[in-house]
Amino acid sequence: MRIFHALSLLAVSVAMIVFAGCNKSSSSTNADGNIIKIGEFASLTGSEATFGQSSHKGTQLAVDNLNAGSGLLGKKIQLLTEDDQSQAGQSATVVRKLISSDGVVAVLGEVASSRSLEAAPICQQAGVPMISPASTNPRVTQVGDYIFRVCFIDPFQGTVMANFARKTLKLNDAAVLSDVKSDYSMGLAKFFKEGFAAAGGKIIADENYSGGDKDFNAQLTAIKAANPDGIFVPGYYTEVGLIALQAKQLGINCPIFGGDGWESSSLVPIGGKALEGDYFSTHYSPQDTSPAVQNFVKEYRAKYNETPDAMAALGYDSAMILADAIKHVGTTDGAKVRDALAATKNFPGVTGNITIDPNRDASKPAVILTITNGQFKYVETVSP
């Protein structure tokens, strides 16, 4: 008897969902003639909220700027942002909502490669172009020809830092301390290790932590015992500041260096003096004197009262490059926008001149910065 109850309950819910679903699909197509809907998914809450909020702020600024001007194709842009709570499984859901319920013409997101990889097959299947602002895992754009990104990829950045460590810093051996929980950190660490070995260096310690940890003394003490010339920390700024502090407390004085995950105005306040003389590669420098960067930094400060980090700059660029492609073809048709995106050449973005290569990755220079007197200082630009 209870089985019957339970099963009929299930049947009722099935019927309700089907009813709701059918109802919905008819209303989703009535796109308003005067607006262009662009979807964005980001980790606005949850463990990686700080990155998602930054990229969202950058994207929002780009859309506001476009709307303050003439809009796009004479229409206003409506940015529909959905939160995936930094949780696996959620981005698939929200991207489906954006595409099939809201009928967006393109999707922007995400910072984390794992969540972009979840959304990419859906965009590919629906024929909706997707631009990831900051997913550096090479696999993201391999999903299909509708998937683009405006950042460089792990192999490039890893090699850049390996060569920089070997040639500019003249390190003979290095230790690696990477975040075992993060796909970004593990990917970057892998390509750094390969590049460093290829350049004739030696990795003498390979330690891990997991995102959210605050105590790194155990790993750092082990690294200290190996006595490397430098430590590569391909993590996020949320942990890097503490790692640098604890390293200095333990009396480790070799340089620490890392990737674009370091770039944030929150890095120096936490790490303070411990970060002096450390290096990282990133997409742009807020100190860059080019008018594009200075304008962006000024507008961002005016709107949010904080200095934009790399995620914000990339979020801004992802929206701008999409707008540029739509303007170029004069339509929001998915296939045409895709072709226009693929043909993007030397787009003057905040994060440098962006050219989309045949793998739909952004081919653009990496900037290496150092930290002196609590400020990021430009060191060199490495072109691909």
Partner 1 sequence: MIEFLQQLINGLAFGSILALIALGYTMVYGILRFINFAHGDVFMLGAFSGFYLAPKIAMILPLPSVAGGILVSIVSMAICAAIGVLIERLAYRPLRHQPKLTMLITAIGVSLFLEYTSQFIFGAAPKKFPEILPAFPLAKIGGLNLNSNQIVVFVVTVLLLIVLRFIILKTRIGTAMRAVSFNPQAAALMGVNTDIVISFTFALGSALAAAAGILWAINYPAIDPLMGILPGLKAFVAAVLGGIGNLPGAALGGLIIGVTETLVSGYISSTYRDAIAFAVLILILLVKPSGLLGRKEIEKV
Partner 2 sequence: MNFTRAKSFFCEKTMLCFKRAQNFLSGAAALCSKHAKTSLLGAIALCFLVSLFENRINSYWLFISYDVGINVILAVSLNLINGYTGQFSLGHAGFMAVGAYTSAVITNRFGELNYFAADGIFFIALIAGGIVAAGAGLLVGIPTLRLKGDYLAIVTLGFGEIIRVILQNMDAVGGARGLSVTHLWTNFFWAFGGAAVTIYIVTSLVNSTYGRGFIAVRDDEIAAEAMGINTTKYKVTAFVVGAFFAGIAGGLYAHSKQFLTPNGFGFMQSITFVVMVILGGMGNTIGVIIAAILLTLLPEGLRQLAGIEHLPGFTTERPLSWVGDTRMIIYSLLLIVLMLTRPQGLFSLKKFSSPK
Residues near partner 2 (CB under 8 A): 1-11, 13-14, 17-18, 20-22, 24-25, 28, 45, 80-83, 85, 87-89, 92-94, 96-97, 99-102, 113-114, 117-118, 121, 137, 139, 179-183, 185-187
Contact partner at residue 358 from partner 2, partner 1, none, CB < 5 to 8 Å by partner kind: none
Nearer to partner 1, 143 or 244 (CB): 244
Nearer to partner 1, 148 or 216 (CB): 216
HEC assignment per residue over the chain: CHHHHHHHHHHHHHHHHHHHHHHHHHHCCCCCCCEEEEEEEECCCCCCHHHHHHHHHHHHHHHHHHHHCCCECCEEEEEEEEECCCCCCHHHHHHHHHHHHCCCCEEECCCCHHHHHHHHHHHHHHCCCEEECCCCCCHHHHCCCCEEECCCCHHHHHHHHHHHHHHHCCCCEEEEEEECCCHHHHHHHHHHHHHHHHCCCEEEEEEEECCCCCCCHHHHHHHHHHCCCEEECCCCHHHHHHHHHHHHHCCCCCCEEECHHHCCCCHHHHHHHHHCCCEEEECCCCCCCCHHHHHHHHHHHHHHCCCCCHHHHHHHHHHHHHHHHHHHHCCCCHHHHHHHHHCCCCEEECCEEEEECCCCCEECCEEEEEEECCEEEEEEEECC
| Distance in Å, CB of 240 to partner 1, minimum | 10
Contact partner at residue 212 from partner 2, partner 1, none, CB < 5 to 8 Å by partner kind: partner 1
Contact partner at residue 266 from partner 2, partner 1, none, CB < 5 to 8 Å by partner kind: partner 1
> Given the rule CB under 8 A, which residues bind partner 1?
45-47, 49-50, 53, 180, 207-210, 212-215, 217-219, 221-222, 224-225, 237-238, 241-242, 245, 249-251, 264, 266, 269-270, 272
Contact partner at residue 242 from partner 1, partner 2, none, CB < 5 to 8 Å by partner kind: partner 1
| Distance in Å, CB of 235 to partner 2, minimum | 12
Nearer to partner 1, 214 or 327 (CB): 214
| Distance in Å, CB of 215 to partner 1, minimum | 5
| Distance in Å, CB of 141 to partner 2, minimum | 13
Nearer to partner 2, 137 or 246 (CB): 137
| Distance in Å, CB of 193 to partner 2, minimum | 14
Nearer to partner 2, 99 or 326 (CB): 99
| Distance in Å, CB of 146 to partner 2, minimum | 15
